[in-house]
Structure 1
Amino acid sequence: MSRVTGCRWRHAGCKGSFAARSHLTNSTACLRALAPGRLRGRSEMCRKARNKLDQQKKGPVVACATPVQTMNKRAIEELREKVGCAALLEKDGWKVDLKESTRRAIKYRRETNIIIVIHQGRGWFDPLSPAKGDVFSLAEHLGADGFLEACDRVGDVVGFVPAAPAWQRPARPKAPSSVAERWKRRFRPRPGSPAWRYLIGERALPAYIVKQAVGGDRLREGPQGSMWAAHSDSAGALTGWEERGPAWRGFATDGGKELFRFGSEDAERICITEAAIDAMSLAAIEVARADTLYVSTGGGWSPATDDAIRGLAKRANALLVAATDNNRQGDIYADRVRAIVADASAGYVRLRPCAGDWNEDLRA
């Protein structure tokens, strides 16, 4: 065999290199250089054979079906349309909390657990955790092991109609006018009016507290003996209102929750409650302290509410009093106030009612 040096050969999948290397003998270099499978420009037959051999080494390709691929997507959408979150919760033993529910947000309870159903029954969230989603994620939240079992649970509820809450109002026949226009069209409460009787009679608020709120343009007569309590921004502009009555609890349609404000606007002491009636009740219990602004979040914690409280915490010598309800949810809101205070280096106090809320304390 003649001496071979510098023969070119190809690695599989590479462009090629010199076969003769310092660590190879001449005979080995020659054999590798002349190997049929490595010749430049090999035949199509060799290429197919090589591909087949590579495939055999790798083994068969198995496509893993996801739950969505296993179940027809159209069937999933049909289930989502047919079954609302309320049906799933009622079937699972949850009960509507009428006192804490509104037409747009229905609160369900089971022992100490809470789920709030929104988006006309198509969505939900847990106010005590980050959990939220649609009916399928709710099924998993309630114990379904994965998406397929969640689909089975939702499918079992098809055709079940949950009981409609007694407070539910019929849909409005036409779009309402602006928030400001609707507010202006309503009368202020006055002695003997339905809202006045509700606040002083059923809610036991002192007349001087109601007069002060009316004088500050904080209250309006609502329908069917209810009252409206205005929410406003830091500049005093109306954003919406809480609605409370003997048989109704809600918030202004198309309105925005920020803060109900009662008392001294430039006060250093700010008492934060969960309802306008609680804010006025605490003011009555404390005989309307001149150094205090009593505010209400309206039972929620919107981004605008969070921003407003942060703004109050930045006041010089500010003292934020977390006067939220005496329950688990009230403690969660109080923790949020504490976190805001820590960021702003303001003062903080947790003030609990003896009963569930301040109006219960006032009526006791």
Structure 2
Amino acid sequence: MQDCVRAGGYGSAWFDHRDDAKQLTCIEARGPTYRGVLRGGAKSLFRFHPNHDGEVARLAVRLAPSNALSLATVERGRGDKLHVATAGGMGPGNIDSLCRALTDLAGIKGAPVIATDADPPGDRHAAQLRSLIGKHLITVEPILPPGGLNDWNDVLKSGRRAR
């Protein structure tokens, strides 16, 4: 899977964060007893592009890498969408990387940014993103998980597909 996820210790998954030059900047670990960024790194964005190096016309911004991967799976790997995650919050490294990605998309007519979970943290994250996106004159297309579910992990577990 593009070498962006690895099995870590104690049942955790390790998600890499890479800069625009695809250089590793940090490792985000998520497991049953730990969630955080390993020491010595600088958060940027977890990135997953189903089409690897193909053209990106859409950007899906999630809070957690697992949600980014779940949305990619539910959508059956739509090849023109870059899935990114911010490791929960929006720090300087996330914002810088995200602004560069948005600048790249600004030239594509109608390239929406998708960033919504159906819960209060998702609403806060979407509000932060809208404030960033406004500077880039890009429209926002919020996609909520179907059927009253809270996030895309729940959608994947339920076997539903995106509309």
TM range (shorter): 0.7 to 0.9
Deviation at 1:255, TM superposition (A): 1.8
TM-score by structure 2 length? 0.84
Determine which structure has the larger helix proportion and give its number: 1
Q: Distance in 2 between matches of 1:301 and 1:243?
A: 17
Aligned-partner Cα distance in 2 for 1:332–1:246: 24
Mapping for residues 268-347 of structure 1, pairs under 5 Å: 268-315=57-104, 316-317=107-108, 318-323=111-116, 325-347=117-139
Q: Which one has a bigger Cα radius of gyration?
A: 1
Q: C-alpha separation between the residues in 1 aligned to 2:150 and 2:41?
A: 27
- Deviation digits for residues 212-244 of structure 1, max 9, x if unmatched? x2xx11022211221101011111111112212
Aligned to 1:35: none
SS at match of 1:271: strand
Q: Give the aligned partner of residue 116 of structure 1.
A: none
One-letter identity of the residue aligned with 2:113: L
Instruction: Give the CA RMSD over aligned residues.
Output: 1.5
1:122-178 alpha-carbon deviations (Å, 9 max, x no partner): xxxxxxxxxxxxxxxxxxxxxxxxxxxxxxxxxxxxxxxxxxxxxxxxxxxxxxxxx
Code of the aligned partner of 2:81: T
Distance 2:47 2:81 in 1: 10
Shift of residue 250 of structure 1? 2.2
Determine the C-alpha separation between the residues in 2 that align with 1:254 and 1:358. 30
Aligned pairs, number = 149
The 5 Å alignment of 1:227-246 reads 227-246=13-32
**What is the Cα deviation at residue 349 of structure 1?**
1.0
Counterpart Cα distance in 1 of 2:29 and 2:157: 20
Offset at 1:246? 3.2
Q: Look up the match of 1:164.
A: none
Amino acid at match of 1:292: K
Q: Does 1 or 2 have the higher relative contact order (CA < 8 Å, sep 6+)? A: 2
1:300 is displaced (CA, Å) by: 1.1
Cα shift at 1:320: 1.2
Q: Is the 8 A contact 1:313 1:319 kept in 2?
A: no
| Structure 1 residue identity aligned to 2:99 | R
Identity %: 34
Runs of 5+ consecutive residues of structure 2 not aligned to the other structure: 159-163
1:251 and 1:358 map into 2 onto residues whose CA distance is 22
Structure 1 gap segments, 5+ residues each = 1-212
Q: Which moved more, 1:269-278 or 1:302-311?
A: 302-311
Q: Distance in 1 between matches of 2:150 and 2:39?
A: 27
Q: Report what 1:110 is aligned to.
A: none
Name the amino acid aligned to 2:132. Answer: I
Paired AA for residue 299 in structure 1: G
Task: Quote the residue 2:42 is aligned against.
Answer: 256
